[in-house]
Amino acid sequence: MSELIHAVLNSEEKSDLRSFISELRSQEKGYLLRNDILNVYSEFCSKHQKEQPFSLLGKLIYYTQEIIQDSTNLCFIFRPKIASQEVYRLTEDLSVESISVDELLDLRDRLVNRFHPQEGDLLELDFGPFYDYTPTIRDPKNIGKGVQYLNRYLSSKLFQDPKEWLEGLFNFLRLHQYNGIQLLINNNIQTQQQLSEQVKKAIGFVSDRPSDEPYEEFRFQLQMMGFEPGWGNTASRVRESLEILDELIDSPDPQTLEAFISRIPMIFKIVLVSAHGWFGQEGVLGRPDTGGQVVYVLDQAKTLEQQLQEDAILAGLEKLNVEPKVIILSRLIPNSDGTLCNQRLEKVHGTENAWILRVPLREFNPNMTQNWISRFEFWPYLETFAIDSEKELLAEFQGKPDLIVGNYTDGNLVAFLLARRLKVTQCNIAHALEKSKYLFSNLYWNDLEDKYHFSLQFTADLIAMNAANFIISSTYQEIVGTPDSVGQYESYKCFTMPDLYHVVNGIELFSPKFNVVPPGVNENAYFPYTRHEDRVESDRLRIEEMLFTLDDSSQIFGKLDDPNKRPLFSMARLDRIKNMTGLAECFGKSPELQEHFNLILIAGKLRVEESGDNEERDEIIKLYNIIEQYNLQGKIRWLGVRLSKGQSGEVYRVIADHQGVFVQPALFEAFGLTILEAMISGLPTFATQFGGPLEIIQNKVNGFYINPTNLEETADKIIEFVLKCEQNPNYWNEVSQQAINRVYSTYTWKIHTTKLLSLARIYGFWNFNSKENREDLLRYIETLFYLIYKPRAQAILEEHKHR
């Protein structure tokens, strides 16, 4: 960027830059973000009749992510490419100098504490040195493809130093047992050289047998050669596995390595942590903090258990009575509002051995711990919850789990605490990182602390994401954003929490621990509206009545004047980020939308007194005000109902029966399961352009992007669609079918779980064979936990004890 800055300063545009800086100085804001900067520049160009895109200055502004005004100087934060940042100070006389990360963080602190500047140095957190000795990806476009890179790296090591790595592979194969029964190789093979020889001998042996001959019929002969169960269930499967190993030994490459490691039977017991509770199979989706995460984890648990069973059978372990087990770990809530969240153990429907295990919080104050606790208040209980959960898990599994998967910040922190104690592979899934959802949440954390406790949230994120062996994200941009926007994980790279600490390097974005593995859709509950043979007519009629005509003031607000209009439909919890009130306002401001559609919302509670969440209460009041302000009575139905997955699936399909559309108006959406649910049902979908939907939807092909902050533009896009439908009656069907095709090709749980288990095995192999010493990193992380996180959590606990 330095060259581009000097090119501007050495050109005729230097005077334009000076004028633009004057425009910036006239802004009341001391801190301008990219949108602010582009708006100021657009106004500047209009005012001075400048051509924006083609100038050097225009190019410079395009790469500018932030501008901070500091007395007489301006600080420009540039993002020349994804996952990189450069910072320069521009003085009044237009001299330029590069500034360090430390100086940038000090400047941000001064912006917040201009009247009470920080005295002395602040704690600096730098995770960079711990990644110096690990492989890192070079090209930003390969971020999120960590396992592909790791496979290339490992296979190159096998090729460069075959003796050392073959010894590692040999020792790794000797590790595996199930309930004390040896798998893969036994003591008849004593060296890696012997392994290579015996593999060729065994291949010759099984090649002479009928391909479908069951493993048990030649098991004894293989054991004499040194091979125990785990290679396959038939002669052809055993041969395939041994041939892949033989190829790996002779000429290693990334595909062969992944194909082989993915076959190794090494994962039988999995914990999925969804800590903050309100986790069940019926009646729990209406509570803020839960909805999408509960759906995700339940579906993941079902398909993981099924995949583990399939893998065990394919590996030839059926006669060993292998019983894979998946446990969803959550908290037990005694006052469970009529749900099963007060039951210790609940079997997951449709599975043989997947369970919800609920562990109660210690009763520091029963008024708190016997009730649901918001995710923003949950932090003081996580350490003791993890300690108590460890005992419960060891009892349920009759041993240690093989893999621990954390969900959301609190679940990821519990996963870290458990994995650290049990020495088990840890995987993180963020679902959403709150830091990027709330503007300037780290800068002004002190002002928000009583409500959100961001100091604990962001510290827990740093701990868990750096401790994890691997991280799953639903989209690429969740990690590093787009050319125009910073990713959620990227926002942890460098930031300050004034008066608490500076993060100089919070996460290595180029680490191979990041992998993009999108979730799927529960295809039993969500399927195309055209599959009439799979729909239950009585359910359809009941949902139809509920959506359009049922008079039930306890759960439904609003009676439609004309129920035959197309439905404009959305379903989400009522909070600021999900922005259901923004959609209602968009509808209220557009007479054309009201002419073509009825607005139907399934969202949270109907009454303030029924909600225990501050943000939901605010949104309830706001929604009623919008209905009143725009006189929407007769044009809107607001349903405060709890739906099972089967019912919500039929809701989408009934909306599709009426050729409606689905709108997801979130201000930011990490991924968007409701988008997949709507699309697979056959609904044309309009979704926020901020976040994951950019990767799900192909704009104007199988759905549409909207900017939920621009209400007029959003309304125009929906109106343009419906007018096209009126001109071409088949247009709705075309978009509907494209949406269905998109989900089936890319977003199924089968694809997800196959990839997740492959990752777990490969990272397990990497951790066993790599020479990187994680202990120093984990000690650093523990220091952060005990010196920053724990005392702050304890302070909240003391407050909770007196509520």
Q: Is the pLDDT of residue 35 over 90?
A: no
352 located within any domain: yes
Same domain for 437 and 453?
yes
Average pLDDT over residues 463-473: 97
* Domain count across the chain: 4
List the strands of the sheet with 269-273, edge to edge: 345-347, 354-360, 325-332, 269-273, 403-407, 425-429, 470-473, 514-516
Q: Across all residues in the chain, what is the average pLDDT?
A: 92
Q: Is the pLDDT of residue 771 over 80?
A: no
| pLDDT tier at 701, thresholds 50, 70, 90 | very high
- Measured CA to CA, the distance from residue 774 to residue 131 in angstroms comes to 10
Least confident of 47-56, 467-476, 698-707: 47-56
Of 771 and 712, more confident:
712
Residue 769 is predicted with a pLDDT of: 80
Nearby residues of 454 by Cβ (< 8 Å), 6 or more positions away: 434, 435, 438, 441, 442, 445, 448, 497
CATH label of the domain that carries residue 552 = 3.40.50.2000
Same domain for 277 and 248?
no
Q: Is the pLDDT of residue 168 over 90?
A: no
Phi first, then psi, for residue 539 (nearest 5°) are: -65, -40
Same domain for 542 and 481?
no
**Cβ(661)–Cβ(669) under 8 Å?**
no
Q: Is the pLDDT of residue 53 over 70?
A: no
Average pLDDT over residues 464-468: 97
The DSSP code sequence of 85-131 is -EEEEE-TT--EEE--HHHHHHHHHHHH-SSSPPPS---EEE-GGGG
Least confident of 225-229, 271-275, 604-608: 604-608
Per-residue pLDDT reduced to its tens digit, 66-104: 999 887 889 999 999 899 999 999 988 889 999 999 999
Residue 113 is predicted with a pLDDT of: 81
Specify the pTM: 0.85
Q: Is the pLDDT of residue 670 over 80?
A: no
Residue 28 is predicted with a pLDDT of: 78
| pLDDT tier at 772, thresholds 50, 70, 90 | low
State the burial class of residue 534 (Cβ atoms within 10 Å of its Cβ: 0-12, 13-18, 19+).
exposed
Same domain for 722 and 793?
no
238 located within any domain: yes
| pLDDT tier at 185, thresholds 50, 70, 90 | very high
Same domain for 215 and 279?
no
**Cβ(228)–Cβ(183) under 8 Å?**
yes
Q: Is the pLDDT of residue 286 over 60?
A: no
Per-residue pLDDT reduced to its tens digit, 623-655: 999 999 999 999 999 999 888 878 999 999 999
**Cβ(137)–Cβ(512) under 8 Å?**
yes
CATH label of the domain that carries residue 203 = 1.20.120.1230
Report how far apart, in Å, the C-alpha atoms of 63 and of each of 19, 84, 127, 498 are.
Answer: 19, 11, 27, 26
- Looking at 699-748, which runs of residues are DSSP E strands? 704-706
Same domain for 587 and 726?
yes
497 located within any domain: no
Q: Is the pLDDT of residue 289 over 70?
A: no
**Cβ(37)–Cβ(63) under 8 Å?**
no
Average pLDDT over residues 676-680: 96
Per-residue pLDDT reduced to its tens digit, 748-758: 899 999 999 99
Token readout for 139 is 């090209």
- Beta bridge partners of residue 86, listed in sequence order: 78
104 located within any domain: no
Which domain-ending residue is among 724, 747, 770? 747
Same domain for 59 and 202?
no
- Looking at 559-688, which runs of residues are DSSP E strands? 566-571, 597-602, 636-639, 661-664, 685-688
Q: Residue 531 — left, alpha, or beta (φ > 0 → left; ψ -120 to 50 → alpha)?
A: beta
**Cβ(402)–Cβ(268) under 8 Å?**
yes
Residue 436 is predicted with a pLDDT of: 85
Q: Which domain holds residue 204?
A: 146-175+185-227+231-261
Phi first, then psi, for residue 322 (nearest 5°) are: -70, 130
Report how far apart, in Å, the C-alpha atoms of 162 and of each of 157, 248, 320 are.
Answer: 7, 10, 34
Nearby residues of 314 by Cβ (< 8 Å), 6 or more positions away: 232, 233, 237, 263
Same domain for 245 and 289?
no
141 located within any domain: no
Nearby residues of 264 by Cβ (< 8 Å), 6 or more positions away: 173, 176, 184, 230, 761, 765
CATH label of the domain that carries residue 94 = 3.10.450.330
Per-residue pLDDT reduced to its tens digit, 437-461: 888 999 999 999 999 999 999 999 9
The pLDDT > 90 percentage for the chain reads 71
Q: Is the pLDDT of residue 50 over 80?
A: no
652 located within any domain: yes
Same domain for 560 and 464?
no
Per-residue pLDDT reduced to its tens digit, 583-622: 999 999 999 999 999 999 999 889 988 887 888 899 999 9
Same domain for 202 and 89?
no
465 located within any domain: yes
Of 463 and 746, more confident:
463
| pLDDT tier at 190, thresholds 50, 70, 90 | very high
Same domain for 398 and 480?
yes
Residue 118 is predicted with a pLDDT of: 67
Token readout for 110 is 């001064």
116 located within any domain: no
Same domain for 299 and 416?
yes
